[in-house]
Amino acid sequence: MATVTKPVEDVELLRRPNIPSADVRLPAVKDYEQVDDEITATLHPTVQWFIGLGVAITFLIIGALAWTYQIYTGLGVAGYNPPVMWGVYIVTFVFWIGIGHAGTLISAILYLFRAGFRTTIYRCAEAMTVFAVMTAGLFPILHLGRPWKFFWLIPYPNWRYIWPQMKSPLIWDVFAVLTYLTISATFLYIGLVPDLAILRDREKNPIRKRIFAQLALGWRNTDREWRHFVRAYLFLAAFSTPLVLSVHSVVSFDFAMSDVPGWHTTVFPPYFVAGAIYSGIGMVLTIMIPLRKWFNIKHYVTINDLDAAAKLALFTSLVVGVSYANEWFVAWYSGSPAEKQFFANRLWGQWWWASSLLYTCNICLPLSLFSQWCRRNTTWLFILSIFINIGMWFERFVIVVPSLSHEYEPWQWAGYRPTWVDYAILCGSFGWFSMWFLLFVKQFPVIALTEIKEIVKPRLKRRHATGVDVTAHPLPFMPDTPGEFD
Amino acid sequence: MRGVIGLFRELDATCDAIAALKKRKIGEFTVYSPTPRHEIEHAIDKGPSAVRMFTLIGGLSGVTFGYWIAIWISDYWPLVVGGKAIASWIPYTVFGFEVMVLFGGLATVAGLFAMARFPRITHTVGYDNRFSYGDFGVWIEPSPDKMLEAEQLLRDAGAVEVRVER
């Protein structure tokens, strides 16, 4: 007897919403005009903003003065004493590179995975990336005795006929960081172009209007522009995704390619990448939580978005925790006395306080994010994000300084104490980063206007069946699980 | 160029206008939308973007250049370490990869500029500031004898404003 297959009247299929709008909901946003009106309203400077900018510039000046003093006096004022010749500068370099990772992670990887919570926070994260990498890029230069010779790291035809050592991780680092900065800045700018066109069309001040017009490159929202823009943006995201993974892997090679105890380990690339994403998410939360309050954009950056970011922070915290455990295990299992002694010194010896701080901030406190209440409590999330930032700075400190202060020979066992110059330049880096970020948020929209409009339901002349677009085509993207986004 | 511009408040009305334009072949047309919409893309149905070719060529050029520059430098200024190859492809994969991403990314942007025909120095006719705000638009460039037909088509589809521009 022939089996009669019932035709699939897929009611579920028709009920499914489109993916880009499915997993992020903005019920308080009614139409396209509201998006433009509310987000562009955040561009007007306020007194608090001027105060913040003033504080940032003050910090920057403190750092600049300390650097001037260091150049005049010599690198010795920065607290370096053999064998610890890498200290706060390299720690802070790795810290800022790590911060710079979340922007491209949120923007590129989450874009490829169609993670909806990306939409509302990615512009800030991308800007954070660019400014964090700009900040990080200063530190290898600050760390040079003759900073004006920094360009010797770049391979170019020169009168010295000397070329860089292409097998050195430090040269890989130059390529990786410069590529990352270029691609991240390009990604940010290309994503901004349609929004700049909106600002150009709405701006009343003729000078600002002219500037926006130049920056918008004559964008007109045509079908031709959108068709190629969407494809180009996808490819940039696809390039940026492995770039995120490569850059911090290359940074980790600065350490892992040496034979210093605590550094020479194969876990470093994934460990550094996970740590970078973790610290970046921490900084995104530090920035977004106050920003959504001050800019009155809580109905765009919703609690659900913060909850999703907190889950990502929890996940990367667990990965980082496993990496720490892996380090201890390998030190024990290697049978190397130098490794064992080094880890004992790091955990229970002279650096116990830094290790304890690191493990408390990076492993213990983030466990609270298993609780939904903690993930959705913005006060706790903000406090935790500060602890994550502190913890991640100390993670790099614990990697850099204890290793150099406890190598193989007893004469290589020493201490390290940063000086006021180190602290001043560290403050200066925060001032530099904050200054650029504060300038950015008052000149450009902190939330991508056109991408938010993709989420908002367009005005329709007629009623249409859900699951079928207005041209009666079935929707092109369907969730894997029926009802996944209901 | 002389043409007719229609301003639409609704997305489906815009799609109706596109469908009618394709059916009646009145002239070349451009659609404006404040945000990319699949519905408009499907209605126009122009096929995949050629930006991908720029990306591919840029990426391949980059990886070739990245390996080449590292090998050339090593051969030109050898830094000999006992027992090690002067030019070694494994560490140079870092350069190959990074320069591939750099060239590929920049070529993608160049492809976007070339295919989408911008930067534009001046605004041409057939644009309204409301297209970046919340409204959709259709700009048609018909032959002079079909100008009235184009206007009527836009009105029938649901345009709230129709005007002739040159």
One domain for residues B26 and B42: yes
Q: Is B90 on the interface with A (CB under 8 A)?
A: no
d(CA A477, CA B42): 13
Predicted local distance difference test score (pLDDT) of residue A305:
85
- Take residue A296 and report the two structure tokens written for it: 């009155």
Please report, for the domain that includes residue B156, its CATH number: 3.30.70
Q: Which of A258, A231, A392 is nearest to A317 (CA)?
A: A392
Q: Is the dihedral of CA A467, A471, A473, A476 positive or negative?
A: negative
Judgement on whether residues B160 and B105 belong to the same structural domain of the protein: no
Question: Each residue's pLDDT tens digit in chain A (486 positions)?
Answer: 444 444 334 444 444 433 333 456 677 888 889 999 999 999 988 899 999 999 999 999 999 999 999 999 998 899 888 888 888 999 999 999 889 887 887 788 888 887 778 888 889 999 999 999 999 989 989 988 888 888 887 777 777 777 888 888 988 988 898 999 999 999 999 999 999 999 999 999 999 999 999 999 999 999 999 999 999 999 999 999 999 889 889 989 999 998 888 898 889 999 999 998 899 899 999 999 999 999 988 888 888 888 888 999 999 999 999 999 998 999 899 888 888 988 898 889 889 999 999 999 999 999 999 998 999 999 999 999 999 999 999 999 999 999 999 888 888 888 899 999 999 999 999 999 999 999 999 999 999 999 899 888 888 877 665 555 555 555 544 434 444 333
- Residues near A472 by beta carbon (within 8 Å), at least 6 away in sequence: none
Residues B28, B76 within the same domain = no
Same domain? For B110 and B128 the reply is no
pLDDT over 90, % of chain B: 57
Question: Which residues have a Cβ under 8 Å from the Cβ of B91 and sit 6 or more positions away?
Answer: A166, A167, A172, B70
- DSSP secondary structure of A228-288: HHHHHHHHHHHHHHHHHHHHHHHHHHHHHTS--TTT--TTHHHHHHHHHHHHHHHHHHHHH
Distance CA A387, CA A184 (A): 27
Buried-state track B117-129, b at ≥16 Cβ within 10 A, e below 16: ebeeeeeeebbbe
Q: What is the pLDDT of residues A4-38, one digit of tens each?
A: 444 334 444 444 433 333 456 677 888 889 999 99
Which chain A positions have a beta carbon within 8 Å of B44's beta carbon? 223
Distance CA A117, CA A24 (A): 6
Confidence (pLDDT) at A420:
96
- On chain B, the residues whose CB falls within 8 A of the CB of A461 are 10, 12-13, 16, 158
Residues whose CB is less than 8 angstroms from the CB of residue A21 and which lie 6 or more positions away in sequence, other chains included: A116, A454, A455, A457
At residue A467, the pLDDT reads: 53
- A136, A221 Cβ separation under 8 angstroms: no
The one-letter amino acid code at A269 reads P
Residues of chain B contacting A174 with CB distance shorter than 8 Å: none
pLDDT tens digits, one per residue of B2-58:
889 999 999 989 999 999 999 988 888 999 999 998 889 888 988 889 999 999 999
pLDDT of amino acid A19: 37
Instruction: Quote the CA–CA distance of A93 and A250 in Å, as a whole number.
Output: 13
* B131 in the same domain as B83: no
| Phi/psi at B87 (5° precision) | -115, 120
Q: Is the pLDDT of residue B150 over 80?
A: yes
- Domain closes at, from B93, B116, B139: B116
DSSP reduced 3-state for B6: strand
pLDDT at A162: 75
Do residues B56 and B43 share a domain?
no
Contact B108 A236 (CB under 8 A): yes
Residues B102 and B59 in one domain: yes
* Strand, coil or helix: A408: coil
- Find which of B108, B123, B165 to mutate to test the A interface (most A CBs within 10 Å of its CB): B108
What's the pLDDT at A72? 93
Return the structure tokens found at A374: 């903690």
Cα–Cα distance for residue pair A259/A255, rounded to 1 Å: 8
Check: CB of residue A243 under 8 Å from CB of residue A105: no
CA distance B149 to chain A (A): 22
Kindly report the backbone phi and psi dihedral angles of residue A163, in degrees, each rounded to the nearest multiple of 5, phi listed first.
Answer: -115, 155
> Could you give the CA distance from residue B68 to residue A166 in angstroms, rounded to a whole number?
12
Are A483 and A467 in contact by the 8 Å Cβ rule? The answer is no
In angstroms and rounded to an integer, the radius of gyration of the C-alpha atoms of chain A is: 25
| Domain containing residue B17 | 3-47+124-165
What's the burial of A310, exposed, middle or buried (CB within 10 Å: 0-12/13-18/19+)? buried
Q: Judge contact between B98 and B65, C-beta under 8 A.
A: no
Q: For residue A148, what are its two tokens?
A: 């004006």
| A50 vs A438: CA distance, rounded Å | 9
**What pLDDT does A259 receive?**
87
CA distance A54 to A47: 11
**In chain A, which residues have their Cβ closer than 8 Å to the Cβ of B132?**
194, 197-198, 200-201, 221
Q: Give chain B's domain count.
A: 2
Structure tokens at A389: 């930032």
Among partner residues A221, A227, A464, which is closest to B132 by beta-carbon distance?
A221
| B21 near A CB under 8 A | no
d(CA A37, CA A382): 28
Q: Do B91 and A182 touch (CB under 8 A)?
A: no
